C-alpha cells in the first residue's frame, strides 16, 4: 500500500512539471537533459542489437525516408540514429537510448502517410532526447515497483537471450507525463522537418478509432500506458501554434 502511494506521489510530481517546449520572441526552445550516461547509451545500443537478432525485420523505404528526415533536425551528438522496421502486426513503436528506434509494420497502415509516420518517429526520437528511459529505470528502482512491472511486462514469453535489464528498457512503460512530453517535443521536431504537425492529431484520431475496433486485449507502448486519447490530443493542441510556426518556416 505504501509503495503504491509513493508511486502515485512520484507520478504527480512529474506531471506537475511544465512542458519541455517553450517559446520566446518567435524562437521555440526544447529543453532536453544536458547529459546522458555512457552506460545508458551503451545499454540501449546493446539491447537493440539483441532485439534485432531475435525479431523478424523487413526493409521499408517509408520508415527509412521519414526517419532520416526527422533525425536531421535533432542535435544529439551521442546518438547514432537507426530506424529499423520489424515484421510484427501489433501496432507499436519503441525507442532506446543511443538513438535506436523500432517501428512495427502493424502501425504503418494507421500511420498512413509520411506525415502520420513522422508523428510516430518524432515521438520516439523525443523519448530518446528527453532521456526518458534513464528516468524510467530510476523511477522504477525508486518506487520498488520495477520487479512486479517487469514480471507483468515479460509475461513469461520474452526471449531469454534478452537480459532482465534489457527487457526492462523495452517493456517498462513510460509514464503518462513522459508520453505527453514526447508528444509535444515530437510535434516540434516533425514540424521542423517539414511535416504538417496537424497530421499528428489526425494520426492519433485514427489510432483511437483503431483501438476501439481492436478492443482492449492488445498491449504495447502505444496501448497500455498512453494517456487518454482526448487528453493527448488536447495537450498536442497546446503546442500546435508553435509547431505550425516552425512548419511555416519551410
Cα 104–Cα 176–Cα 76 angle in degrees, nearest 5: 65
As a whole number of angstroms, the distance between CA 109 and CA 157 comes to 27
| Residue 226 contacts residue 232 (beta carbons within 8 Å) | yes
Which lies closer to Zn ion via its Cβ, residue 76 or residue 245?
Answer: 76
What are 41's three cell numbers?
A: 547509451
Q: How far is the CB of 127 from Zn ion (least distance, A)?
A: 6
| Residue 225 contacts residue 140 (beta carbons within 8 Å) | no
Q: How far is the CB of 24 from Zn ion (least distance, A)?
A: 27
Residues 176-215, interacting with Zn ion (CB under 5 A): 179, 182
134 is catalytic: no
Q: Is the torsion defined by CA of 8, 13, 14, 16 positive or negative?
A: positive
Size of the site for Zn ion (CB under 5 A): 2
| Residue 103 contacts residue 51 (beta carbons within 8 Å) | no
Which lies closer to Zn ion via its Cβ, residue 101 or residue 240?
Answer: 101
Q: How far is the CB of 202 from Zn ion (least distance, A)?
A: 18
As a whole number of angstroms, the distance between CA 146 and CA 17 comes to 23
Which lies closer to Zn ion via its Cβ, residue 218 or residue 245?
Answer: 218
Q: How far is the CB of 232 from Zn ion (least distance, A)?
A: 10
Which lies closer to Zn ion via its Cβ, residue 121 or residue 182?
Answer: 182
Could you tell me which stretch among 8-16, 19-27, 172-180, 238-246 binds Zn ion (CB under 5 A)?
172-180
Residues 16-75, interacting with Zn ion (CB under 5 A): none
Torsion angle of C-alpha atoms 71, 76, 78, 80, degrees rounded to 10: 0
Could you tell me which stretch among 100-108, 150-158, 175-183, 233-241 binds Zn ion (CB under 5 A)?
175-183
The residue annotated as part of the active site, out of 124, 134, 221, 246, is 124
Q: How far is the CB of 133 from Zn ion (least distance, A)?
A: 11
Torsion angle of C-alpha atoms 100, 182, 43, 81, degrees rounded to 10: 20
Q: Residue 5 burial by CB count (10 A; 0-12/13-18/19+): exposed, middle or buried?
A: exposed
Which lies closer to Zn ion via its Cβ, residue 185 or residue 240?
Answer: 185
Give the footprint of Zn ion on this chain (CB under 5 A).
179, 182
**Active site amino acids:** 124
Amino acid at each position: 500500500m505504501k509503495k503504491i502511494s509513493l508511486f502515485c506521489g512520484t507520478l504527480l510530481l512529474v506531471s506537475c512539471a511544465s512542458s519541455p517546449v517553450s517559446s520566446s520572441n518567435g524562437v521555440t526552445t526544447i529543453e532536453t537533459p544536458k547529459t546522458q550516461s555512457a552506460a545508458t547509451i551503451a545499454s540501449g545500443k546493446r539491447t537493440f542489437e539483441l532485439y534485432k537478432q531475435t525479431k523478424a525485420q523487413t526493409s521499408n523505404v517509408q520508415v527509412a525516408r521519414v526517419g532520416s528526415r526527422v533525425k536531421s533536425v535533432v542535435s544529439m551528438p551521442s546518438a547514432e540514429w537507426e530506424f529499423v522496421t520489424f515484421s510484427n502486426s501489433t501496432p507499436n513503436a519503441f525507442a532506446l537510448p543511443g538513438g535506436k528506434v523500432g517501428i512495427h509494420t502493424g502501425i504503418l497502415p494507421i500511420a498512413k502517410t509520411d506525415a502520420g509516420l513522422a508523428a510516430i518517429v518524432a515521438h520516439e526520437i523525443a523519448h530518446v532526447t528527453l532521456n526518458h528511459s534513464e528516468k524510467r529505470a530510476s523511477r522504477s528502482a525508486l518506487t520498488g515497483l520495477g520487479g512486479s512491472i517487469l514480471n507483468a511486462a515479460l509475461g513469461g514469453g520474452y526471449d531469454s537471450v534478452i537480459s532482465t535489464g534489457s527487457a526492462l528498457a523495452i517493456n517498462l512503460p513510460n509514464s503518462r507525463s513522459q508520453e505527453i512530453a514526447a508528444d509535444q517535443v515530437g510535434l516540434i521536431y516533425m514540424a521542423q522537418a517539414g511535416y504538417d504537425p496537424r497530421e499528428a492529431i489526425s494520426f492519433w484520431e485514427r489510432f483511437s478509432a483503431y483501438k476501439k475496433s481492436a478492443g482492449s486485449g492488445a498491449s504495447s507502448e502505444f496501448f497500455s500506458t498512453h494517456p487518454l486519447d482526448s487528453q493527448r490530443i488536447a495537450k498536442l493542441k497546446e503546442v500546435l501554434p508553435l509547431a505550425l510556426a516552425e512548419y511555416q518556416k519551410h
